[in-house]
Amino acid sequence: MEEMLILLKPDGMVRRYSGARALKSILELNPEIKFFEIIKPDKDFLAEKHYGEHKGKFFYDNLINFMSYTELAVIIAAGDNITEKVRNLLGKTMCEKADPLSIRGRYGTTKGINLVHASDSKETAEKETTLWKSIIKIETSKNYLEEMKKYISKYENFPMIDSVRYREISKALTDKEIEKGDAEKILKELLMRETDFEEDKVKELPALITENILLG
């Protein structure tokens, strides 16, 4: 059966409610959950292996710094045409361009800070699941679906700041109505309201977000 990789990105980890919401809507597709764990992969693994295809692109450095900043929820899901189904649910890459009812359109933070990674084709799905299986340990005795449900129920009652607010700040920064430093201050305040992460563990996130916003 077709298997694919899904990752909750750092904004999906820190923004607890939105991350839980995204995972819950993925579960509504009734996939088989072959693996679910919170992992902080090596930066090198993300840069060279997972995102190697993007090397040299204008967003690459920001993407790697962002993705390696916190631990990630790592999921291997299986099912008929699961990759296509999850990608449809996810919406377009850039949050503001994604269907407002899609995961990225509705819950993604802003621009390429888009909450969730998912394999983007059958071929990528095969490559990515093989690659990630080289760094994870799948225990056949574990019920990963239950683990994922536990994660969701832990965070689905967290307070949530609407992505509309993040996108307002993003637009104001792009339109030069506010300074980068001021945008970062507001972003930090908003992120802290949505999370149980220690301040120290999210302090670089606002700068990584503004950097992504200013990529264009």
For 111: left if phi > 0, alpha if psi spans -120 to 50, otherwise beta; the answer is: left
210 near ligand ADP, rule: CB under 6 A: no
Report the candidate in 28, 29, 35, 27 with the shortest Cα–Cα distance to residue 5. 35
- Smallest distance, Å, CB 92 to ligand ADP? 7
Report the candidate in 212, 168, 201 with the shortest Cα–Cα distance to residue 186. 168
Residues acting as catalytic residues: 117
Q: Can you tell me which of 84, 96, 120, 211 binds ligand ADP, judged by CB under 6 A?
A: 120
If DSSP codes are grouped into helix, strand and coil, which group holds residue 204?
coil
Q: Can you tell me which of 49, 59, 182, 204 binds ligand ADP, judged by CB under 6 A?
A: 59
Give CA–CA dist 200/139, Å, rounded: 32
- Smallest distance, Å, CB 111 to ligand ADP? 5
138 near ligand ADP, rule: CB under 6 A: no
Give CA–CA dist 130/2, Å, rounded: 12
Which residues lie near Mg ion (CB under 5 A)?
120
Q: Can you tell me which of 31, 112, 155, 166 binds ligand ADP, judged by CB under 6 A?
A: 112
* Beta bridge pairs of residue 77: 4, 33
If DSSP codes are grouped into helix, strand and coil, which group holds residue 59?
coil
Q: Which stretch binds ligand ADP (CB under 6 A): 16-24, 112-120, 129-137, 158-166?
A: 112-120
**Residue listed under structure tokens 């930090």:** 188
Q: Can you tell me which of 114, 129, 170, 210 binds ligand ADP, judged by CB under 6 A?
A: 114
The number of helices, as runs of H, and strands, as runs of E, in the chain is 12, 4
103 near ligand ADP, rule: CB under 6 A: no
Tokens at 213, concatenated? 């916003």
The residue among 195 and 210 lying less far from ligand ADP, judged by its C-beta, is 210
The residue among 49 and 149 lying less far from ligand ADP, judged by its C-beta, is 49
The residue among 120 and 147 lying less far from Mg ion, judged by its C-beta, is 120
Residues of the shown chain interacting with ligand ADP in the complex, contacts defined by CB under 6 A: 54, 59, 63, 93, 111-112, 114, 117, 120, 212, 215
